[in-house]
Amino acid sequence: MQQLLVLCCWGLVALASVAPERLQNRTLEMVLDEFHNRSRIYYAFKQQAVVPSVERQLQMGTFVQLEVDLVQTVCLKQLRGTQNCQMKPGGRKQKCLACFKFNPNGEILDKSMRCLSQQVPIFQEVWKKQEQECENVKLTGEDRYRPGVFAFISQLPDG
């Protein structure tokens, strides 16, 4: 019986470790898709680095934050998924900060994403604004859940 319990616990641990990775991969794909849907982007970009993401379970869902470094490739954005695109020598680089809030069913409650070249003079200012926007995304819906606030009815209506 104890062996069965141990196996069950290990299975739950393995399942829990897979789910966040899937959510982070999904988030990264959404960041890349949204970036490439911009009209001013002609060439495909691919991730050069992904800073370890923040993932937090909150009362109203899961908050995921990613910091992604993108580099320009030699392929047009329409060919992004069909070819092995090499990095363009001297190509543009973008740094993206994206955050998503998912409900327990995996649907997006809120999101914010900003990509910018680090060579832009206002990079630090814009980055700080995006970090604040991510805090707002993280708090989405959290003010609705306050234990005990709606737990009791003081008086039933006459009826």
CATH code of the domain in which 115 resides: 3.10.450.10
Assess if residue 157 is contained within a domain. no
Decide if 155 is inside a domain. Answer: no
- Counting the structural domains of the chain, the total is 1
| Cut 0.75: pTM above it | no
User: Torsion angle of alpha carbons 25, 104, 6, 21, nearest 10°?
Assistant: 10
**Comparing C-alpha atoms, which of 47, 25, 23, 24 is closest to residue 35?**
47
pLDDT of 135: 94
Residue 116 lies in a domain: yes
Are 64 and 99 contacting, i.e. CB atoms less than 8 angstroms apart? yes
- Which structural domain, as residue segments, surrounds residue 105? 2-142
- Give mean pLDDT in consecutive 10-residue pieces for the chain, a chain of 159 residues: 45 41 88 93 92 87 94 92 87 94 92 92 94 93 63 57
Give pLDDT, residue 34.
94
CB under 8 Å to 79, separation ≥6 — which residues?
A: 44, 85
Hey, what's the torsion of the CAs at 84, 64, 39, 122, to 10 degrees? -110
Q: Which residues contact 120 (CB under 8 A, 6 or more apart)?
A: 126
What pLDDT score does 154 carry?
A: 55
Residue 148 lies in a domain: no
